[in-house]
Amino acid sequence: MRKTRIKLVKCNLLLLLMAFAVLVGCSSEEGAGSDNNSDSGNEEGQTTVKFWHPMTDTSGDAVEEVIEAFEKQNPDINIDATYIANQGEGQNEKLLTAIAGGNPPDVAYFDRFEVASWAAQGSLEELTDFAEDDGITKNKYYDFAWAEASYEGGLYGIPTTTDSRLLFYNKDHFDEVGLDPENPPTTIDELEAAAEKLTIKEGNRFERIGFIPWYGQGWFYGWGWSFGGDFYDPSTNTATADHPKNVEALEWMTDFAQKYGVEEIAGFTDSQGDGAMDPFLTGQLSMKVDGNFGVASIEKFKPDLNYGVTPMPTPTGKDHTTWSGGWSVVMPKGAENQEAAWEFLKFFGGEEGQKIFSETSRDFSVIDSVNEELGYKDDSIFSEFINILPKSNARPVMTEGSLYWNELADAVENATRDNGTPQEILEEVSDKVNEALEN
Strand order in the sheet with 165-170: 287-291, 165-170, 307-310
Buried-state track 304-320, b at ≥16 Cβ within 10 A, e below 16:
eeebbbbbbbbbeeeeb
* Whole-structure pTM value: 0.81
Q: How far is CA 398 from the centre of its chain?
A: 16
Report d(CA 279, CA 269) in Å as an integer. Answer: 9
Q: Which residues are paired to 180 by β-bridges? A: none
Tell me the one-letter amino acid at 94.
K
Confirm if 246 and 224 have CB atoms less than 8 A apart.
yes
Report d(CA 46, CA 322) in Å as an integer. Answer: 44
Distances (CA, A) of 400 to 57, 89, 405: 31, 11, 9
Report d(CA 433, CA 413) in Å as an integer. Answer: 18
Dihedrals φ, ψ of 188, to 5°? -65, -40
Report d(CA 283, CA 16) in Å as an integer. Answer: 59
Report d(CA 346, CA 14) in Å as an integer. Answer: 48
Q: Which residues are paired to 150 by β-bridges? A: 155
The angle subtended at Cα 140 by Cα 137 and Cα 141, nearest 5°, is 100
Confirm if 209 and 284 have CB atoms less than 8 A apart.
yes
Domains of the chain: 1-28 (no CATH), 32-163+335-394 (3.40.190.10), 165-324+400-438 (3.40.190.10)
pLDDT at 165: 97
Confirm if 78 and 42 have CB atoms less than 8 A apart.
yes
Q: Please spell the DSSP secondary structure of 33-90, one letter per residue.
A: --BSS-GGGPPTTPEEEEEEE---HHHHHHHHHHHHHHHHH-TTEEEEEEE-TT-STT
Report d(CA 139, CA 129) in Å as an integer. Answer: 17
Confirm if 289 and 150 have CB atoms less than 8 A apart.
no
pLDDT tens per residue, the chain (439 residues)? 333 333 333 333 333 333 333 333 333 333 333 344 334 345 678 999 999 999 988 889 999 999 999 999 999 999 999 999 864 445 678 898 999 999 999 999 999 989 998 999 999 999 999 999 999 999 999 999 999 999 999 999 999 999 999 999 999 999 999 999 999 999 999 999 999 999 999 888 899 999 999 999 999 999 999 999 999 999 999 999 999 999 999 999 999 999 999 999 999 988 888 888 999 999 999 999 999 989 988 988 999 999 999 999 999 999 999 999 999 999 999 999 999 999 999 999 999 999 999 998 889 999 999 999 999 999 999 999 999 998 899 999 888 998 999 999 999 999 999 999 999 999 999 999 999 999 8
Q: How far is CA 268 from the centre of its chain?
A: 25
Please enumerate in sequence order all residues whose Cβ is within 8 A of that of 132, keeping only pairs 6 or more positions apart, or say none: none
Tell me the one-letter amino acid at 106.
D
Helices (H) and strands (E) in the chain, counts: 19, 18
Closest CA to 157 of 118, 215, 211, 183: 118
